Chains A and B, each alone.
Chain A
Amino acid sequence: MKISVQREDFDLSLETKNLSRSEGVGAVASFVGIVRDVHMTLEHYSGMTENSIRKIVEDACTRWKVMDCTVIHRYGELSPHDQIVLVAVASAHRGDAFSACEFIMDYLKTQAPFWKKEHRPEGAAWVEARASDDDATVRWEPPARKAS
Chain B
Amino acid sequence: MKVKVLFFAALREQLGTAGEEIDLPAGVATVAALRGHLARRGGPWEGALAEKKNVRAAVNQDMANPGAAIRAGDEIAFFPPVTGG
* Residue positions of A touching B, CB distance < 8 A: 33, 42-45, 47-48, 51-52, 73, 84-85, 105, 108-117, 126-129, 133
Contact = CB atoms under 8 A, between A and B. Distances in A.
Given A48-B77, A126-B9, A114 B83 contact: yes
Given A111-B63, A113-B58, A126-B10, A44 B83 contact: no
21 contacts: A42-B84, A43-B9, A45-B8, A45-B77, A47-B61, A52-B63, A84-B84, A84-B85, A109-B82, A109-B85, A110-B82, A111-B82, A113-B8, A114-B83, A115-B79, A115-B83, A116-B83, A117-B9, A126-B9, A126-B10, A129-B81
B36 interface: no
A140 to B, nearest CB: 15
A21 B80 CA distance: 40
Contacts, number: 73
B32 interface: no
Interface centre among A42, A45, A128 (most CB of B within 10 A): A45
Interface string B25-47: 00000000000000000000000
Given A113-B77, A117-B9, A129-B54, 5 more contacts: A43-B8, A44-B84, A51-B61, A110-B82, A127-B83
Contact of A128 (B58, B63, B83): B83
Contact of B85 (A48, A51, A85, A117): A85
A10 to B, nearest CB: 15
Interface residues of B, number: 17
Contacts of A112: 82, 84-85
Interface of B: 6, 8-10, 54, 58, 61-63, 77, 79-85
A114 B82 contact: yes
Given A52-B63, A113-B58, A108 B84 contact: yes
* Shortest beta-carbon contacts, A-B, top 6: A114-B84, A129-B81, A115-B9, A48-B61, A109-B85, A126-B10
